[in-house]
Amino acid sequence: MAASSYPDDWDERRRKVYSHDNYTCQQCGARGGSSGDTELHAHHLTPRSEGGSDSLDNLQTLCVNCHNSQHKHDITRDTTQNDQQDTVNNHLSRVYTILPFFFFVVIKHLIAPLAAGYGYFYILSEASSTAGSIHWLLTPIVLLVLGTTGGILGLRFQSIVFKSYLLVFGILAWYVSGQDPTFIERLGRIMTDAHWFEALIAIPTVLFGLFGPLLITLGTRITGTTESNRIN
């Protein structure tokens, strides 16, 4: 009958005690094992709570009734509660082991890419809007600078860049569909109200602003793979 924090060989120890005591309760004489049907327990002469050990010379065979009398309550209930507590502790231990890994995966593969992607597009939108309110020519310059800067930073965090574009694909579709008309309206005004060369400048710079970090990162990876294959 195992209990909380008992030694791993507790079952073997108590069987040795039963055998030593001839499977007989040392108080009332009730017999268990092959000679009777009494439930036997291994009782600590000096309680474990008072520093008693689990050694054989501190153990004595008692029947369940005498054992309960010694402890003045149902010892089997304590054992059940201890086993239940052990089960709960084991489950909690597994949860505590899994949680850090779970949060690491969520942060690495979801939160960080989403934050990076949303942050980039937010900066792109605000900066281009501010530049456009000053002069239309500043808008493509800002887009080129931000797209290039995002691409350079993306070289250090390539996995985040790829995951960002994958996760924020809906945001990109949102821009393209015109739900947030910042880029599309500006591009439309340039194409209808401005000279043709302004539209010629606007279209590639808007696309580069949107996809520059992805294009630079992807291009660098492809180039690196090609060079590696050539060397090999």
Q: Write down the pLDDT at residue 124.
A: 82
> Does the pLDDT at position 16 exceed 60?
yes
Q: What is the pLDDT of residue 179?
A: 47
Q: Whats the size of the chain, residue-wise?
A: 232
* Alpha-carbon gap, residue 102 to 116, rounded angstroms: 20
In this structure, is the dihedral angle defined by the CA atoms of residues 135, 136, 141 and 146, taken in order, positive or negative?
positive
The pLDDT assigned to 50 comes to 87
- Pick the range with the lowest mean pLDDT from 35-39, 194-198, 200-204: 194-198
Residue 140, Cβ neighbours under 10 Å: how many? 22
Q: In angstroms, rounded to a whole number, what is the distance separating the alpha carbons of residues 121 and 10?
A: 64
Query: Where are the chain's structural domains?
Result: 9-80, 128-231
- The pLDDT score that the predictor gives to residue 30 is 92
Position with higher pLDDT, 177 vs 222? 222
